[in-house]
Structure 1
Amino acid sequence: MTKGFALAIHGGAGVVPRTQMTAEREAACRAALSRALRAGETVLAAGGAALDGVTAAVSALEDEPLFNAGRGAVFTRDGRHEMDAAIMDGKSRRAGAVAGIAGLRNPVQLARAVMEQTDHVMMIGEGALTVARDAGLAFEEDAYFFTQERWDSLQDTLRMQAEGTLDDDLSRRHGTVGAVARDRQGNLATATSTGGMTAKRAGRVGDSPIIGAGTFADNATCAVSATGDGEAFIRRVAAHEIDARMRHIGQSLADAAKHVVQVDLATHEGSGGLIAIDSEGNIVMPFNCEGMYRGSVREGEPGQTAVYE
């Protein structure tokens, strides 16, 4: 528990299996997490709002090609990018979300523009991109979003699908970035962004931009950002289920999150994890798979990052 600010981030539960993880790659992932953590911490340490802190942290994660969001987004089966994002303010329950977006450098900033500059919660397609242009958000050419690793992963996945030999590599199905924060005023906020699933069908939308599934915040209970098998998180309304357990049966954040991840999701083929924070600044980061890129920092304490257990 902390009386100051607190921040947690994740870079997705689709980690490279431990047996394939090199020391160099793990160090690079941890360094990227640290940069995003500092981006959010800098805002909160200056007295900024939780909403600004999660926006800064997720924008930084979207700029990192190692994670499946923004610059590092995976490819659809058609070789394109379709990115989703959401943000929510725990003080007012205002929220904004976008889905199927391409060409925008930081989808989370568009989600915030939808929240603050329109009367809507979720927008898609050209209508959403018009909001981005009106807000002066940055666009990039296709080359900015191209990474050889993501392209090779698409080719491998398409080949295995054609051969009927597709393996159970969770890094193909997972991949999201997110942040949750409590500011010095006690307000909570969350933001989530993703490139989706490798070789997904055009038009597929996961849990990340769906309020209550992959993203949720309410000052009375918690803020949550999820990562994993999106369809399962949607079916279990995972993020809001944590809020409901805290609100209606008085569970702690730790107990509610553990039940949702280890029971509700794990027993219904819902591989993945989440980060969450409550009104007292308590942070939990449970997952039911091999690992989850994650980090956290509390006011007056050094930041920490981790990948596996």
Structure 2
Amino acid sequence: MSVTAPPASVDATLAMLTSRGYLAERALATVVFLALRMNRPLFLEGEAGVGKTEIAKVLSAALGRRLIRLQCYEGLDVSSAVYEWNSSAQMIAIRLAEAAGDTDRAQLSSDIFSEHYLIKRPLLQALEPDMAGAPVLLIDELDRADEAFEAYLLEVLSDYQVTIPEFGTIKAPQPPIVIVTSNRTREIHDALKRRCLYHWVDYPNAQRELAIVKSRVPGISAKLSQQVVNFVQALRAQDFYKSPGVAETLDWATALTELDARALTAEVVGDTLGALLKYQDDITRMQGDTLQKVLKEATEET
């Protein structure tokens, strides 16, 4: 992986994202540029599937940096996210020392709580020096983690350091590029948000979504791509439990291409709704008159 210098302007950031197939609006490119220049974490909030996680992947690939991903979930703790001690290896070391008659407890304690026995999890890995430059740290779906873990992140995101009671403080020689995402299933505390630059990633407008589909689904016809985007945009205006994101748009467009569809019909839409909608109640609502209405809106313009 070749190393690339961070972009020197908003225009260069926009071009960098575009070159990797991420068609961002200028406001998003601006906040990405500022996060890189200011060494500040970037907090991206928005509905699932709008491309928040993809930003970290694109930055990793475009800048030639290692991507370290911490997937958050309920119950995530320090031992899974930051570090833990290799207790079995420590126990073996203690027994070997006892068998050898080594009774220097202070020295033994220092030995078993050394870096050799330290198991580094994603957050600690992100603070290590890297010849390719500071890595991209993706803290994904922080809203799924508990508030206690969110509070623990304050030290990491404020000073780019982790304090281990038995070992000491480990500080990054160069701050990692931090992307924090949230689907807003709960509110993130202001204390953490203040340490970040913030951007709400919204659904793209029809023009941008059409460009994304054409870029990411090669071989799709101009007519079908337009109808797909029209249909999805119309769906988002409905009162569904979960509106489709860009990821679902791309999945659906790919599925239709694999089926050699050339245009949307009630039959092909009904057969492939599972690629677009992920809840049975939403699929059930997209039957009969509702399907015909949305399909008419999607196809009458092409």
Greater RCO structure (CA 8 Å; 6+ sep):
1
User: Is TM-score (shorter-chain normalized) higher than 0.5?
Assistant: no
Radius of gyration: which is bigger? 2
Kindly indicate which of the two structures has a greater share of residues assigned to helix. Answer: 2
After TM superposition, the score normalised by the length of structure 1 is 0.27
After TM superposition, the score normalised by the length of structure 2 is 0.27
